[in-house]
Structure 1
Amino acid sequence: YMLPLGEIIRKHGVSFHCYADDTQLYISLRPDETYKFTKLTECIADIKNWMTRNFLLLNSEKTDILIFGPKTSSRKNLEYSLTLDGCSIKPSSSVRNLGVLFDTNLSFESHVSSICKTAFFHLKNISKLRHMLSMTNAEQLVHAFMTSRLDYCNALLGGCSARLLNRLQLVQNAAARVLTRTRKYDHISPVLSTLHWLPIKHRIDFKILLLTYKALNGLAPQYLSELLMHYSPSRLLRSQNSGQLIIPRISKSTEGGRSFSYLAPKLWNNLPSIVREADTLCQFKSRLKTHLFALAYT
C-alpha cells in the first residue's frame, strides 16, 4: 500500500528511509544552497496530496525538521520552516527517531540523558522489590527494564566521548550493585565479570562488529554492505587472505571517526582471525563475546 510513496519521493530527487509508517526525508546542501529546500517542500506537498487521495493523514504534530552540520555560524543562518495544515514547523534542536534522540550535533547528549533518567527510575523501583525476589527473577527484571535500553541502537554511540559512555557505565554498575546487593564502595569489575556482563564500551563494539559480520555475509541492508571493502594488496602478501577490510582516511576523528564506514573496519581488523572466520552467526557471536570478555576483564 505504501509503495507508491517511494516513487513520489524519488521523482523529486530526495533521499529517504521508511520503517513501517515512519518516513524520513533528507537532503544534503551547502549553506549557500538554501534553494534546495524548495525541492523538499514540493515533495512533502505531493506526499500530502497522495495521502489525502488514499484516505491517509499526514500528521503535522508528528512532523519534525532537524538540520545537521558543523558547529559554525553557517548552520545558524540556515532558516527553513514548513507549513503543513496551517501549522508552521520549524527546525528542532533534537528529534526522536525510532526511539533515539538525534540532536543537531549528533552528540547524543540528549539520548544518553534520557536513557539514564529512565533506567535509574526503573532501578529505583526494582531496588524496592529486590529483597522479595530471587536472583533469577531480579536479573530478568534488570534485563527487561535496563539492559534492553542500554543496548538499544547502541551502535550509534561508537566513538562517542568517554564522558558520555561513563554515564551509561554508571547505570550498569548501579544495576549490578542492586542485583548482587554489593555495597556502594566495593569494586564493581569483579561483580560485572561474575555476572558475565560486558562493560558499555565493549557492548557497543559487540553491536558494531555484529553488524559488520552481517553486512559481509549478506545478512544486513545493502546500504551497510556497500560501506565495507575487502583489503586487496597490490602485490602478493600473506595478509591478502586475512579477511581484513580497508579503513578509509578521515579528516576529523570526532566526526569521521564515528562513522560506520571507518569504525567497523577498524574494529574488524583488530579481531583475531579465528573470530573473523566464524562459519555461522551464532558461532561468531559466541567467539566475539569470549574475545571481548577477555579484553575487558583480563
Structure 2
Amino acid sequence: MDKSKKPWRNKNWNGQVSKVCNEIYGTLSMLRQTQDFLPKDIKQHLIKSLVIPKFMYCSEIFMGCSRANWHTINVCFNSCIRYIHSLKKFDSVSKHVNELLGCSLENYMNYRVCLFIFNLMKKKTPHYLYEKLFFPRFRRSRMLSLPPTKSSKQHINSFFVRGPRLWNSLPSDLRIIDSLAIFKRECLSHFASQKAQK
C-alpha cells in the first residue's frame, strides 16, 4: 500500500495542541473583559478553574509532543500568567511562571504522569493499564522495565514507554515512598526544582 495513504505513519499532535490552545485563548478573551476589575487572587482562581483543566485533560498525550508543540503550549500558558498579573503581551513572565502550579507547566504534567504511575502501582487498578507496566525481577527499588522495543516513533513516544522512563528518573528515595500525601508533596517539590526544557 502506498505510504501516502497511511496517515497514521506521520501522526503528530499538532491538531490536538492547536485545538486546546485555541479553546484556551477563547476563554482568556472572555476573561479579559473584566480583567481590570478583578484582584489577582480571583483571576488566579478563574485560571485554575476554567483554563488549567483544559491543559490537563488527557495531558499524558503531550509527553510525545515535539519541542515545537511544547513551545506553542508554553506560549499559551504564558498568556494565562500575563492575564493573572495584568502584564502586556511581550512582558516577561519568568519570575511568575512557577507561581500558578508550583512549577512550570511541562514539569507539572511530568509530575502528574508520575502521580498516575504511583497510583497505578499502589492500587493495581484499572487492571488493563496496570498489566502494561513491566517490573524487573527485584522490585525493591520500584524501578520499571521498558516494554519490548519497537521502531515506530509513536511507540517510543507512547505513555507506557516515556512514562516509565520519567518514573525511573525520580530519585530512589522518592520512588519508594508509600504515602500518597507525602509522595505528592515530595514529587511536586522535585519537579519544582527542575528547569523546564527549552
TM-score bracket for the superposition, by shorter chain length: 0.7 to 0.9
Aligned match of 1:258? 157
1:140 corresponds to: 45
CA distance in 1 between counterparts of 2:4 and 2:11 reads: 17
Aligned to 2:129: 224
Query: In the alignment, does 2:49 pair up with 1:158?
Result: no
1:185 paired with 2:90, answer yes
Q: Secondary structure at the match of 1:248?
A: coil
Shift of 1:107: 1.9
Partner of 2:142: 243
Cα distance in 1 for residues equivalent to 2:83 and 2:168: 37
Whether the 8 Å contact between 2:74 and 2:105 is mirrored in structure 1 is yes
Offset at 1:271?
0.2
Identify the match of residue 116 of structure 1 among 6, 15, 21. Answer: 21
Name the SS of the counterpart of 1:191 in structure 2.
Answer: coil
Which of the residues 174, 190, 197 maps onto 1:275?
A: 174
Aligned length: 196
**How far did 1:219 drift?**
5.1
Q: Describe the superposition over 1:229-262 as per-residue Cα deviations: whole angstroms up to 9, x where unpaired.
A: 22236xxxxxx63221112353436222122221
User: How far apart, in 2, do the equivalents of 1:74 and 1:172 lie?
Assistant: 35
Structure 2 CA distance for aligned equivalents of residues 253 and 132 of structure 1: 51
Q: Normalising by the residue count of structure 1, what TM-score does the alignment of the two structures yield?
A: 0.59
- Specify which structure has the higher proportion of helix: 2
Deviation at 1:220, TM superposition (A): 3.2
Q: Matches of 1:282 and 1:291 in 2, distance apart?
A: 14
Secondary structure at 1:217 match in 2: helix
Q: CA deviation at 1:228?
A: 1.1
What residue in structure 1 maps to residue 111 of structure 2? Answer: 206
The superposition leaves residues 144-179 of structure 1 with CA deviations (integer Å, 9 ceiling, x where unpaired) of: 221110111101121211111211111110110110
Q: Given residue 72 of structure 1, which amino acid in structure 2 is its aligned partner?
A: K
User: % of aligned pairs identical?
Assistant: 22
2:6 maps to 75
Q: Which residue of 2 aligns with 1:292?
A: 191
Number of the residue aligned with 1:36: none
Q: In structure 2, do the counterparts of structure 1 residues 105 and 253 end up closer, same or farther at CA, with 3 Å as the change threshold?
A: closer
Measured in 1, the distance between the counterparts of 2:152 and 2:115 equals 22
SS of the residue 1:241 aligns to = coil
Query: Which runs of 5 or more residues in structure 1 are unaligned?
Result: 1-30, 32-70, 77-102, 234-239
- Structure 2 length as normaliser, TM-score? 0.87
Return the structure number with greater strand share.
1
1:115, CA displacement in angstroms? Answer: 1.0
**Take 1:219 and 1:146, find their aligned partners in 2: how far apart are those partners?**
31
1:108 deviates by 2.6
SS in 1 for 2:49: helix
With a CA cutoff of 8 Å and minimum separation of 6, indicate the structure with the bigger relative contact order.
2
